[in-house]
Structure 1
Amino acid sequence: MGEINKQSPIDAAHQFIHKYFSYCQGALLAGSVVRGEATETSDLDIVIFDQTISSSYRESLIDFDWAIEVFVHNLSSYKHFFKNDVERARPSLPRMVSEGIILKDVGIMDSIKKEADELLSNGPAEWSAETIKTKRYFISDALDDFIGCSNRGEEIFIANTLAELVSEFVLRTNRKWIGASKWIVRALRQYDEDFANHFVEAFDRFYRTGEKKPVVDLVDQVLEPFGGRLFRGFSLGKK
């Protein structure tokens, strides 16, 4: 981690729990330090289950030489977050609970971990044909803007929009979890390493050289099995 005197993540997490949540019923250490992906700027993601907490909250602080993000829940409030994460297809809390290392447990963590594992295994809900059609339209619209744009600043941000829309489309039509920011690429790699490489290379080439064709070809490749680009005849909200 680049700091010789920095104590280990697990030691720091144990001390944090003892100092701030000594009476909690369960605690986990999750995030990049658990996955072996920690960087110089990584923090500790700690999930707390405490029956005395009236409502869930999240807090950021620095202690024991670490930046720490703590996610505090009582023994039922986490279920609301599980539900919301599943509905938006971004399983942040279920993933943290599933991958997390148990630091404290008074007999509750196995069942909560099992609940998270089952949600992750089931995947997000299948998109309806109407949803797929709507997403095709908005991807097609962004692609047309991208192709026709001659302003470098504007086309960069149109490309960003396309990357988000296309990654979501690929993952959701295959009933896979989506992500935001760095989790876009991670989710694509979990789905299909070859496609993820193709995706990154197409957008990287555009950002480096301004060449649009690899991105355009990629988007057309993704849309083709669902009928290709969509404009004519699309309607939204018409009675």
Structure 2
Amino acid sequence: MHPDPIDLARRLVQDRFPDALAVVLAGSTAAGRATASSDLDIAVLIGDGGETGRETVRVEGRLVELFVHTRAGLAELFAADVAARRGVLQSMYATSLVLVDTDGEAGRARDLAEADLRSGPPALEPEIVETKRYGLTDALDDLADADDPFERLAVAGVVLDAAADLLLDHHRAWSGSGKWLPRRLVEADAERGGALLQGHRHLCETGDPAPLADAALRVLGLVGGPLREGYRRTWRGVIDSVAAGAGR
């Protein structure tokens, strides 16, 4: 019989972080969707003399992801998540189950997290949007030309990611990776985001790129359409790879 995950989290916190200012349990466990194999996502706010970091441990057979931070560290992580347009830690605090709340510390952290989430991620700079348009157009051209099934699958992933990035930015919506990408897409735009996901699935199942290409072109239509000739980019400061923003 597996131990109750919330009880397990409480015991771990009492053992590892007896002086924690705030502890919240997030993820599928807090949402009531946990399975026997689900890991535990625990954010721990500690005193200013501690160190901010992340650690993965296994306790009583269950994986636990520990996100440990001081007040200053939490502010820095929130800022980094906003800049990355992900809002990961903010979502953890905003949707969590509070396990420890010393003098209202958990509530204050949640208030900051919710304020960030309400504000939304920063809009991409016009030059970056233009580069992403060019990259998606290039990837769609590659998708149309791809005869090799493995290349087609690889390019389809590029198309999905690039189109998702543009669509989420268009809506000033938070992005995500892995399982969070489809969740964010559907939350932001059920029609267009759903079409991208269905098109990608259809290609993976049948090899037919048409629905995915059509869905990506609809996204491009929101941001100025396909971009090929006329695109120009000048590198300023750090010069990155010529593949940045392109489909190769």
- Report what 1:101 is aligned to: 97
**How far apart are 1:150 and its partner, in Å?**
0.8
- Report what 2:71 is aligned to: 75
Q: Is the 8 A contact 1:16 1:64 kept in 2?
A: no
Q: How many aligned residue pairs are there?
A: 235
- Report what 1:29 is aligned to: 25
List aligned pairs for 1:100-119, cutoff 5 A.
100-107=96-103, 108-119=105-116
Tell me which moved more, 61-70 or 202-211: 61-70
| Cα separation, partners in 2 of 1:18 and 1:158, compared to 1, 3 Å | same
**Residue type at the aligned position of 1:150:** D
> Are positions 1:169 and 2:166 aligned together?
yes
Q: After superposition, what is the alpha-carbon deviation per residue over 1:131-185, rounded to whole angstroms, capped at 9, x for unaligned?
A: 2211100100111111111111111111111111111110011100000011110
Query: Deviating runs (4+, > 6 A) in structure 1?
Result: none
1:87 to 83, 86, 90: 83
Tell me which moved more, 13-22 or 126-135: 126-135
2:43 to 44, 47, 57: 47
- Unaligned residue ranges in structure 1 (runs of 5+): none
Q: Is the 8 A contact 1:145 1:158 kept in 2?
A: yes
- Report what 1:233 is aligned to: 230
Return the alpha-carbon distance in structure 2 between the equivalents of residues 197 and 126 of structure 1.
Answer: 22
The secondary structure found in structure 2 opposite 1:76 is helix
2:3 to 7, 25, 46: 7
Q: Percent identity?
A: 28
> Are positions 1:120 and 2:82 aligned together?
no
- Report what 2:239 is aligned to: none
Return the alpha-carbon distance in structure 1 between the equivalents of residues 64 and 173 of structure 2.
Answer: 29
**Residue type at the aligned position of 1:178:** S
**How far apart are 1:191 and its partner, in Å?**
1.2
Q: Is the 8 A contact 1:168 1:178 kept in 2?
A: yes
The secondary structure found in structure 1 opposite 2:71 is coil
Provide the TM-score with structure 2 as the length reference: 0.90
**Residue type at the aligned position of 2:10:** H
Provide the TM-score with structure 1 as the length reference: 0.93
Tell me which moved more, 224-233 or 167-176: 224-233
